[in-house]
């Protein structure tokens, strides 16, 4: 089973044209640049530090992307379903993987364009001081990878519904799971329960998928998911007792490792680690696989 | 639509129909009825047989005789209908059922359509016409039963893909990418289908569906009639062998309806068409065969002549639908 890249390219071009074919696309681009600029410069810290880098933006970027990327992805599937065009698209001579890849590249293209235009921040830094090119490259590579992961999360969220608003919320919640498991940008430390929630969601979703794969029908899938999530919650709470003795909860610790922060900090310091690359690329691959799986089971 | 509306529409539309031609077709079909039944029985026997080779042999035989007959057709047009029963089956549904939870949208739907036939899929709204078409095109999977188009199984991914190359599909209410122009839209479909001569094909369908004047206007600005025609152009773009059209005339004005009917009759000479409708008039105007469906169950299948032997399509429709509803209750 191969992939016909002509088909992928055709779907990519169609989606890019949709994003840029109406004013919303340009409003989005403008807002994105404005929001990142505000996060970078509209803070005393930027001037107090007196360093030509984007450290101030780094603390906010996951939170900014958490809203902006699902705004791109929310229409990816939801709009096709609402308009009924999925019925055209999926009855063409295309493979599910080609459709998923085309859709993903469309979203990624739009995000890459936004991020590319936001390199204006580097120009500003260059006017104020002398930013390190290597550090700037690593920082932007980190932004791009983080956005690429969020785009895959958003795409899965959009898969579940035909309502764009619901798709946005689902995508945002998914991204929030990866963001709130780390230090909050507005201070106040971490939210250990957020990583527990992420863990419960992942276990619940996995058990639903495993149930469906084994049993082969959709009846009871939601129940299996809820049951998996409930068991995970019990495990988490029972482990919580040891936390009273001053030990960290192992359940929370495990899923806190999935936090996007753990895999972004080093980029902000100009270091590219293989482990981080594996995290992003692996995450995207797993989520796109999930998309293709859900698409293949569209007869749910 | 209420029954009265349907009746009015039926009566009103009937006036501008080419009556003579229809009658001629009906006569042909009537003479073919007995032959039809015989061949059907033969095909069923072959299909029931445990040994696939035998079934295959029967099919080859049928195909060969169809070929020979098709040749004869060229000089002898009226023989066409008689011959139809011997042509190979292109669309077949065997015991299709689709459940949504406890609700059965389709139950045990079986019918087949042979090559070069225009089959009308007739039934009230919500009878399961679109669901069946979605199953045949591979957009939905049946809960039970087997669908087959051109010998390909639409539930198997790679076979569905092969099928999609030879199948034109107009989904219900003609969904389209609203932000695109018809030209962009057709270019996209040509791209995805990797057509050998995209420009030539696009020109051909634009001409055939008469959308030249709106080619570069965004689709959301077009009237319902034009949109439906863009959808039709999309379905014809790759010159498919089989066409599945879900309510191809919905939203069109009487003139456009006449154009579409002419187009469908023309296409029906060489291609296999399955078109759904709840307008009885359409059946009289276009169909060779009728599949009548009510509440997810087949109420009648056979030639139009068989359906209209001793009553109009309309009377038969109400009669069968009522009988069926009583049975269900």
- The reply to whether A50 touches chain B by the CB within 8 Å rule is no
Point out which residues pair with B152 in neighbouring strands: B149
Q: What are the extents of the domains in chain A?
A: 5-182+261-296, 186-258
CB contact residues (below 8 A), chain A span 239-278, against chain B: none
Q: What is the pLDDT of residue B293?
A: 86
Q: Where are the beta strands (DSSP E) in chain B?
A: 89-100, 103-114, 118-122, 144-149, 167-170, 242-246, 272-277, 289-294, 297-303
Domain B88-328: state its class: alpha beta
Instruction: Please state, rounded to an integer, the average pLDDT across all residues of chain A.
Output: 86
Helix (H, G, I), strand (E, B) or coil at B144: strand
**Which residue would you say has higher pLDDT here, A187 or A43?**
A43
Q: In angstroms, what is the C-alpha Rg of chain A? A: 20
DSSP A188: S
Q: Per residue in B163-200, pLDDT tens? A: 999 999 999 888 999 889 999 999 999 999 988 889 99
- What is the length of chain A? 300
CA gap B27, B116 in Å, rounded: 18
Q: Nearest CA of chain B to the CA of A222: how many Å?
A: 13
Q: Which of A93, A96, A299 sits opposite B164 (nearest CB)?
A: A93
**CA neighbor of A62 nearest in space, from A171, A147, A136, A137:** A147
Q: List, in order, residues 6 or more apart from B286 with CB less than 8 Å away.
A: B118, B120, B261, B264, B265, B268, B275
Helix (H, G, I), strand (E, B) or coil at B322: helix
- The reply to whether A92 touches chain B by the CB within 8 Å rule is yes
- The answer to whether the Cβ–Cβ distance between A18 and B164 falls below 8 Å is no
**CA neighbor of A147 nearest in space, from A189, A125, A118:** A118
Burial classification of residue A23, based on how many CB atoms lie within 10 Å of its CB (0-12 exposed, 13-18 middle, 19 or more buried): exposed
Measured in Å, how far apart are chain A's first and last C-alpha atoms?
Answer: 24
- The answer to whether the Cβ–Cβ distance between B192 and A85 falls below 8 Å is no
Q: Per residue in A222-281, pLDDT tens? A: 888 899 989 888 888 887 655 555 667 777 777 878 888 888 888 888 888 898 999 999
Q: What are the extents of the domains in chain B?
A: 88-328
For residue A17, how many other CB atoms are within 10 A of its CB? Answer: 17
Q: What is the pLDDT of residue B169?
A: 94
Measured in Å, how far apart are chain B's first and last C-alpha atoms?
Answer: 22
CA gap B174, B211 in Å, rounded: 15
CA gap B200, B214 in Å, rounded: 18
For residue A109, how many other CB atoms are within 10 A of its CB? Answer: 18
Among B164, B186, B192, B193, which would you mutate to test the A interface (most chain A Cβ atoms within 10 Å of its Cβ)?
B192
CA gap B271, B132 in Å, rounded: 20
Instruction: Please state, rounded to an integer, the average pLDDT across all residues of chain B.
Output: 75
Structure tokens at A288: 């796109």
Q: Per residue in A116-148, pLDDT tens? A: 999 999 998 899 888 888 999 999 999 999 999
């Amino acid at each position: 089973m191969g992939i016909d890249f002509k088909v992928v390219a055709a779907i990519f071009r169609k989606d890019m044209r949709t994003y840029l074919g109406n004013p919303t696309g340009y409003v989005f681009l403008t807002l994105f640049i404005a929001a990142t600029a505000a996060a970078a410069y509209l803070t005393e810290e930027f001037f107090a530090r007196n360093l030509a880098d984007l450290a101030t933006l780094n603390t906010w970027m996951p939170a900014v992307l958490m809203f902006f990327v699902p705004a791109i992805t929310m229409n990816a599937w939801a709009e096709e379903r609402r308009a009924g065009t999925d019925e055209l698209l999926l009855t063409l001579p295309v493979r599910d993987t080609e459709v998923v890849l085309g859709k993903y590249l469309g979203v990624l293209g739009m995000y890459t364009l936004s991020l590319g235009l936001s390199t204006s921040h580097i120009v500003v830094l260059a006017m104020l001081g002398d930013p390190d090119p290597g550090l700037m490259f690593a920082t932007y590579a980190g932004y791009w990878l983080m956005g690429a992961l969020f785009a895959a999360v958003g795409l899965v969220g959009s898969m579940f519904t035909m309502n764009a608003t619901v798709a946005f919320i689902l995508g945002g919640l998914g991204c929030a799971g990866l963001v709130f498991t780390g230090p909050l940008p507005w201070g106040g430390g971490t939210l250990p329960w957020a990583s527990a929630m992420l863990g419960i969601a992942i276990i619940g979703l996995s058990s639903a998928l495993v149930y469906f794969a084994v049993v082969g029908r959709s009846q009871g899938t939601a129940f299996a998911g809820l049951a998996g999530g409930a068991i995970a919650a019990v495990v988490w709470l029972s482990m919580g007792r040891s936390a009273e003795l001053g030990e960290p909860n192992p359940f929370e610790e495990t899923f806190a490792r999935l936090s996007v922060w753990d895999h972004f900090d080093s980029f902000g310091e100009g270091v590219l680690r293989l482990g981080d690359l594996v995290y992003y690329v692996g995450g995207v691959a797993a989520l796109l696989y999930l998309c293709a799986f859900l698409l293949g089971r569209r007869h749910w | 639509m209420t029954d009265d509306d349907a009746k009015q529409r039926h009566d009103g539309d009937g006036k501008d129909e080419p009556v003579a031609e229809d009658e001629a077709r009906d006569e042909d079909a009537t003479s073919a009825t007995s032959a039809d039944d015989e061949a059907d029985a033969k095909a069923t026997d072959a299909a029931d047989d445990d040994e696939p080779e035998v079934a295959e042999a029967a099919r080859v035989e049928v195909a060969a005789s169809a070929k020979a007959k098709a040749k004869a057709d060229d000089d002898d047009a009226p023989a066409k209908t008689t011959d139809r029963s011997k042509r190979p089956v292109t669309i077949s549904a065997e015991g299709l059922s689709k459940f949504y939870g406890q609700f059965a949208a389709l139950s045990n739907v079986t019918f087949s359509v042979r090559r070069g036939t225009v089959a009308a899929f007739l039934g009230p709204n919500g009878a399961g016409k679109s669901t069946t078409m979605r199953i045949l095109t591979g957009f939905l999977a049946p809960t039970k039963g087997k669908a087959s188009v051109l010998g390909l199984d639409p539930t198997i991914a790679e076979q569905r893909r092969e099928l999609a190359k030879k199948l034109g599909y107009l989904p219900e209410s003609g969904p389209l990418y609203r932000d695109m122009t018809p030209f962009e839209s057709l270019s996209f479909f040509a791209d995805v289908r990797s057509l050998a001569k995209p420009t030539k094909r696009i020109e051909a369908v634009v001409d055939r569906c008469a959308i030249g004047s709106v080619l570069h206007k965004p689709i959301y600005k077009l009237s319902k009639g034009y949109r439906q025609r863009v959808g039709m152009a999309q379905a014809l773009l790759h010159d498919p062998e089989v066409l599945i059209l879900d309510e191809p005339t919905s939203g069109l004005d009487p003139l456009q309806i006449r154009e579409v009917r002419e187009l469908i009759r023309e296409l029906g000479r060489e291609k296999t068409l399955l078109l759904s409708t709840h307008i009885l008039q359409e059946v009289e105007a276009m169909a060779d065969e009728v599949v009548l469906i009510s509440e997810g169950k087949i109420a009648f299948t056979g030639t139009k002549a068989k359906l209209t032997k001793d009553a109009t399509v309309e009377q038969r429709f109400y009669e069968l639908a009522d009988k069926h509803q009583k049975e269900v209750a």
